[in-house]
Structure 1
Amino acid sequence: MPPLALYTFGVLKSPLADPAPLTHEFYDIGEAVYRRISRHPGYLAHAEAADGARGSLFEADWGAWGEFAVPTWYGKGRTAETTALAATLSLWTDLRPAFDAVYSGPHREALNRRYDWFERTGHPNYVFWWASDGVPPTWRDGVSRLEHLHRHGSAPHAFTFHDSFTPEGTPLRPDAGTTGRI
């Protein structure tokens, strides 16, 4: 079965470089979330900048994950001092492990506080798709899928937890109890 790609994107209320306590809290919680998720069953990998620098998303070397990209609706800064976004790109074995990781533990706690940090944009903030075996998805892939989801809704090309699909394109029922169904 091919890996499941997950791209998340949110517009922050203040730049990543903001020295305010709320920004530091977001970073601290984010680091704890990544540590926990990276050990979660079903997690395969996530995009990491080669230099590990915070706030320099656009200038960072992302290796096989490609050049950093954002949706067209992002209108804030693109420098280390002005960037006001949070984005992730990860790979999973299936929907159930991704669902469990997102809606439990520290990530669930962070979701409960998302409006402390993020603007409400009226756009989707995550998208799934089945990636090709052996080829990591790129940031541009994630942006393209998220924009497709926004324009057309869930489809085998770009979908959500609630309206998801098998790798073959068959819709999944949210209440089904078998592997891959949530």
Structure 2
Amino acid sequence: MPRLALYTFGVLKSPLADPAPLTRDFYDHGEAIYRRMGRYPGHLGHAEAAAGDRGGHFDLDWGAWGEFAVPAWYDRGRTAKTVALAASLSLWTGLRPAFDAVYTGLHREALKRRHDWFERTEHPNHVFWWVSEGTTPTWQDGVCRLEHLHDHGPAPHAFTFHHAFDGEGTPTRLADEAT
């Protein structure tokens, strides 16, 4: 049975190492949200640095999730002191569980504040694609899919909640997916 991969990416208004209250607020929300997401029904796993560090992203060991990568349009820092991004890579049983996790609870509250923390861009901030059971998507997979979505629009190869495809590549809607 295929599994759903989700890659998210956003450019922050200030580096993660910035001691300002806004950055601390983002970190506090993020840590609580990650803990909560991991307990949602349908969540199968997410990329975490092997040592549990939240350093510069680029120099961390991500294990089976591969070397950390970012879209070509990211033009900010790449060191622990200058990184200004938030990215996630996760696996789900389907669209409905991912949607419920993203648009309810703590994450929904954080979405209401996204413009406080993130720069507005013309690029998509998330992408889905299906992977076969036993496959761990990599950061590079996520970047390639997000860039494909930006350049070509939604397709079975790379899609969004609003323009989704099932595991066989057929257009679908959340209402059509069994929970």
What is the TM-score normalised by the length of structure 1? 0.96
What letter is aligned with 2:178? T
Question: What is the deviation of 1:111?
Answer: 0.3
| Residues 95 and 177 in structure 2, CA contact (< 8 A), matched pair in contact too | no
Correspondence 1:83 to 2:88: no
* TM-score of the superposed pair, with normalisation by structure 2: 0.97
- The Cα offsets for residues 100-138 of structure 1, whole Å up to 9 and x where unpaired, read as 000000000000000000000110000000012102000
Shift of the alpha carbon at 1:178? 4.0
Aligned pair 1:179/2:178, yes or no?
yes
| C-alpha distance in structure 1 between counterparts of 2:57 and 2:132, whole Å | 25
Q: Work out the CA distance in 1 between the residues paired with 2:103 and 2:123.
A: 20
Q: Which residue does the alignment assign to 2:56?
A: 56
Secondary structure of 1:88's aligned partner: strand
* 1:16-44 Cα distance to aligned partner (Å, 9 max, x none): 00000110110000011011110000000
Match of 1:2 in 2: 2
Q: Which runs of 5+ in 2 are unaligned?
A: none
- Evaluate the alpha carbon distance shift between residue 119 and residue 95 of structure 1 in structure 2; reply closer, same or farther with a 3 A threshold: same
Segments of 5+ residues of structure 1 without an aligned counterpart are: none
- For 1:114-125, list aligned pairs within 5 A: 114-125=114-125
Please report the RMSD computed on the Cα atoms of aligned residues, expressed in angstroms: 1.0
What pairs with 1:24-103 in structure 2 (closer than 5 Å)? 24-103=24-103
Alignment match, 1:133: 133
Q: How far apart, in 2, do the equivalents of 1:51 and 1:85 lie? A: 20
CA contact (8 A) 2:7 2:142 kept: yes
State the secondary structure of the residue aligned to 2:15. Answer: coil
Letter aligned with residue 83 of structure 1: V
2:64–2:136 contact (8 Å) kept in structure 1: yes
CA contact (8 A) 2:13 2:84 kept: yes
Give CA-to-partner distance per residue, 1:66-85, whole Å, 9 cap, x none.
Answer: 00000000000000000000
Letter in structure 2 aligned against 1:12:
L
* Cα pair distance change 1:7/1:178, threshold 3 Å: closer
User: How many residues are treated as equivalent by the alignment?
Assistant: 179
Task: Give the aligned residue type for 2:86.
Answer: A
Q: Structure 1, residues 117-160: CA drift from partner, whole Å, max 9, x if none?
A: 00001100000000121020000000000000000110000000
Report the alpha carbon displacement of residue 55 of structure 1 after superposing the two structures with TM: 3.0
Letter of the structure 2 residue corresponding to residue 109 of structure 1: E
Q: Distance in 1 between matches of 2:101 and 2:120?
A: 23
Secondary structure at 1:7's aligned position in 2? strand
| Offset, 1:177 | 4.3
User: What does residue 151 of structure 1 align with?
Assistant: 151
Question: Which secondary structure state, in structure 2, belongs to the residue aligned with residue 133 of structure 1?
Answer: coil
